[in-house]
Amino acid sequence: MKPTRILFVCLGNICRSPTAEAVMRHLVKQRGLDDRIHVDSAGTGGWHAGNPPDARSASVGAKRGIPLSGKARQVTTEDFDDFDFIVAMDRTNRDDLRALAPSLAARNKIHLLRDFSPAGAKDADVPDPYYGGPQGFDQVFDICLQACDGLLASVIQSVPPRATVTP
Catalytic residue among 16, 25, 36, 56: 16
**In Å, how far from its chain's centre is CA 98?**
16
Radius of gyration of the chain (CA): 15
Catalytic residue among 40, 79, 125, 128: 128
Task: Give the SS3 label for residue 52.
Answer: coil
Contact between residue 128 and residue 54 where contact means Cβ atoms under 8 Å apart: no
- For residue 127, the one-letter residue type is P
Known catalytic residue: 128?
A: yes
Known catalytic residue: 73?
A: no
Instruction: Give the chain's end-to-end CA distance (angstroms, integer).
Output: 20
Known catalytic residue: 15?
A: no
Catalytic residue among 10, 15, 144, 148: 10
Contact between residue 42 and residue 75 where contact means Cβ atoms under 8 Å apart: yes
The residues that are catalytic are 10, 16, 128
